Amino acid sequence: MKDLTLSSATRLAASGSRYIDVLGMLWHEPFPGIRMKVLYKDSQSKETLMLFETGPGTVIPEHVHGGVEWAFILEGTMEDDEGVVTAGNFVYRPRGSQHSVRTPNGAKYLGLFHDSARTVASGRLFPEYEE
């Protein structure tokens, strides 16, 4: 996936600010039951902000965070073996944390990643950054 630059959903202001038409962006499905829109991505600093939407009963496989992950829940719930995060609430996961995630009723949330997480079973990195 290329870094977010100017696309049909982005307007660049004179100041360099980027205005993103999130509703006009297409959803991508990186894993079954999970849709996402990349709102910001910088491979050099290894930072990505994404809007996620998961269906009821979705399980995000066990993974290890290579950097910090922040998640703000807009709708539904997100849970793992350590706790439940409900709409309007926030969870911070430090580098090295390992878990799987469940969304029993589905969820919509913002996820901000520094670096990638590595899926335990396959070794797949997410998000991926260009070298």
The DSSP letter of residue 24 is G
The DSSP letter of residue 88 is T
Domains contained in the chain, CATH given: 27-126 (2.60.120.10)
Per this entry, what is the length of the chain?
131
Q: Is the peptide bond before 104 cis (omega within 30 degrees of 0)?
A: no
Q: Any alpha helices (H) in the chain, and if so which ranges?
A: none
The DSSP letter of residue 45 is T
**What does the pLDDT read at residue 1?**
39
> Which one, of 116, 115, 103, lies nearest residue 34 by Cα?
103
DSSP SS3 for 22: helix
Residues 127 and 83: their CA atoms lie apart, in Å, by: 23
Supply the pTM of this predicted model: 0.86
pLDDT tens by residue, the chain, 131 residues: 345 444 556 777 677 788 889 999 999 998 889 999 999 999 999 999 999 999 999 999 999 999 999 999 999 999 999 999 999 999 999 999 999 999 999 999 999 999 999 999 999 998 989 87
Residues 30 and 12: their CA atoms lie apart, in Å, by: 27
CB 65 within 8 A of CB 93: yes
